[in-house]
Amino acid sequence: MQQMAHLPQIPPATLAELQADYLKQATALWNASLGQGDAGSPGDRRFAAPEWRANPAAHFMAQLYLLNGRALQQMAAAVEADDKTRARIRFAVQQFVDAASPSNFLALNPEAQKLALDSHGETLARGLQHLWGDVQRGHVSQTDESAFEVGRNVATTAGSIVFENELFQLIEYAPLTAQVKARPLLMVPPCINKYYILDLQPDNSLIRYAVAEGNRVFVVSWRNPDESVKHLGWDDYIDSGAIQAIRVAQEISGQDQINTLGFCVGGTILATALAVLAARGEQPAASVTLLTTLLDFTDNGVLDIFIDEASVRLREATLGAEAPQGPQLLHGQELATTFSFLRPNDLVWNYVVGNYLKGEAPPPFDLLYWNGDSTNLPGPMFCWYLRHTYLQNELKQPGKLTVCGEQVDLGAIESPVYIYGSREDHIVPWHAAYRSTQLLKGKRRFVLGASGHIAGVINPPPKPGKPPKRSHWIAKGAALPADPEAWFKTTTEHPGSWWPDWSAWLASHAGAAKAAPKAPGNRKYKAIEPAPGRYVKVKA
């Protein structure tokens, strides 16, 4: 009985209130269906087609579904339990509610039924063809994947591979200006996805923008791991990955200090590498840019619901270095599926309905093509990352972790830092990105952008004559209080891209202008092949 008291439960008074409210709304809906009132529009884009309104049974079904969904979500929100348990319950209920939508089923979707009748079954035939194609591909198609090819119409900024090892290829981009700044810029993208999110199309490429601004740009293109590297761990990604890339960029440019940028997990890897070097008495970064990066894992966003001691131990037992069968790969499709179900209506069920029930081929979209181009991860690296950051949050604790033989202290990094967060980011909540300002000790600047994890970052300045997209917030002063909301109260909203603000900040740390190099690499590091290189083209 003592254990029962600690089980999640809804207070009886709250449950009674929810039940009474539900019965009231259900009665009104039933009366409206009998012509004794107006049920109104469902107000949900899944039921926006006129066929839903024209069919009384379907209209009632949609309204009843939305009512039931709201009631279940209210009950989930009312559960008394610890924060993680409540978050897991809310997530599970939301997954069930989204999956149970009548729009997801042919027998309950009047729009799909009308399309099938009007086309004499052709939409259903095409839908079955799309379904079979997706079964063979192993995932729900979100875009026309045949419309894109890496190196042909995505990842097209000109450059050369100037170094490679078992973990990554280093791309040096061809200059677009007669002169470049003396200190190069090294970008470390996330290893969970491929680097070309930073180089989708010329008009929205952060890489091309940085090159056009007069920077000598190097980018890490992580290998898509296979069985030959499934044993690699976090130390390998730091030493043979980020630190090696820093060394090569220094040698090719002839500069003791370089500018650095890390995006998402790439930012966590970069900061760890710089802390390792700081422990060795080295400060190779003239500046550090962190885009939607977690260093303090106190608030992990929605991903936190998947992580506890039991789940991490399970991963270690099945994927890690101590697994009975030896280290294994975490396959990219598992990661991609997990991230898609963080926003199931937008990234799963929307395509189930369109692809299979309506027989519509998804339109070409470069970002969704990149999103589906998944990558594997070595099990030991993934397990270390889960335990020591997401679960135990040790990276923020000076001296707590030993990486590459050195005690890690992020506060030992002396570089000025530009920290960017996205206001609607569900993977790296902006409050969590902001907390990096309290860990790093160099001169810091925090900028908040609109939109989410990807769209907020990939927000280029508009072409001449075009209105700006989204906006960003910059504080009026240099103060960075511990409370992110206190910082936000001091900000001014600026329309358009944050890229020009970052570019101006970067220029102040980039050194004098010099003649652009005539060829990539140097005598030691010669061009191996044209960008984007072989590694990025390997499928998971």
Could you read off the pLDDT of 301-351 as tens digits, one per residue? 788 888 999 999 999 999 998 889 999 999 988 888 888 888 888 889 999
pLDDT at residue 4 greater than cutoff 50? no
CB 287 within 8 A of CB 212: no
The residues annotated with a catalytic role in the active site are 264
User: Rounded distance, CA 372 to CA 356, Å?
Assistant: 18
The reported pLDDT for the residue numbered 159 is: 98
Scored b (16 or more CB within 10 A) or e, 453-476 reads: bbbbbbbbbeeeeeeeebbbbebe
| Residue indicated by tokens 């005598």 | 523
Could you read off the pLDDT of 207-249 as tens digits, one per residue? 999 999 999 999 999 999 999 999 999 999 999 999 999 999 9
CA distances from 134 to 14, 25, 36, 359, 537 (A): 45, 40, 46, 13, 20
Residue 315's SS3 state is helix
Could you read off the pLDDT of 24-82 as tens digits, one per residue? 999 989 888 887 545 555 678 999 999 998 999 999 999 999 999 999 999 999 999 98
Tell me: cis bond preceding 102? Omega within 30 of 0 counts.
no
The two tokens of residue 406 are 């050195």
Q: What is the mean pLDDT of residues 509-526?
A: 96
